[in-house]
Amino acid sequence: MRAQLARIDAVLVQAVIAAALSFAHLHDVASAAGQDGWKAWAYPISVDLLLVAAWRRLRTGDAKASGWCWFVIALAASLGANVATAGLLDLNAVPAWLRILVAGWPAVAFLGGTLLAHSTPTAHDMTEETEFPQEREAIEDQEDAPDPLSELPPPPVTVPTPAPTPPPAVSIPAALVEHARKVATEHHTRTGTPIDTPTLRARLGVPAPMADAIAAHL
């Protein structure tokens, strides 16, 4: 436990020292480039915040290309200031291009911070959107699927067939029946065969229903 605490303390001390030195170098370059007063102190904070935001984007696991881009830009600004104050740059005669870079840095840092903070969703949201897409689509399909019973056609309506109506009874006079027997006897004597209904109808000159009724009485 003590070894772990000692290791953490050493790391924190080293981080504080490195941050303080980098902070001072950025302040000196900004001050030499014409940014005096509180503005010279704001430049180190801007560079370090952009560096931390880019590193946080790299740790989240989404949009690593954007994170690496802004991490390299912030690291180059920090390293450039550290190298420039090592005697390679005359801080009393800063070139024009360095003044332009220092003056344009706030806009670059604002753009980078905005893109890193608002350009893409968080890893948790992306996990919820991309995890188990097939199960989510299956659930949506089940919710939207119509009821199979509602698509079945209605059962056919059975109309009962009416019973056939028997033909009305034909009233036959007894004299006509007696005459029909004579005609039938004569026909049988002459031809040797019983008389059929069409022949009986033709001989008597009566309608077909009456001829059928007379034939039934014979």
pLDDT digits (tens, 9 = 90+) for 87-128: 777 777 778 888 888 888 888 888 888 888 776 545 444 554
Tell me the domain boundaries of the chain.
2-120, 174-217
Residue 168: per-residue pLDDT:
56
What pTM was estimated for this model as a whole?
0.46
Residue 178: per-residue pLDDT:
82
Residue 123: per-residue pLDDT:
47
- pLDDT under 70 in the chain at which residues? 1-8, 61-63, 119-155, 159-160, 162-170
Residue 49: per-residue pLDDT:
86
Residue 125: per-residue pLDDT:
47
Residue 37: per-residue pLDDT:
85
Q: Catalogue the long-range contacts made by 97-106 (C-beta closer than 8 Å, 24 or more residues apart).
A: 98/29, 98/33, 99/33, 99/34, 101/33, 102/29, 102/30, 102/33, 102/34, 102/35, 102/43, 103/33, 103/34, 103/35, 105/43, 105/46, 105/47, 105/77, 106/46
Residue 57: per-residue pLDDT:
83
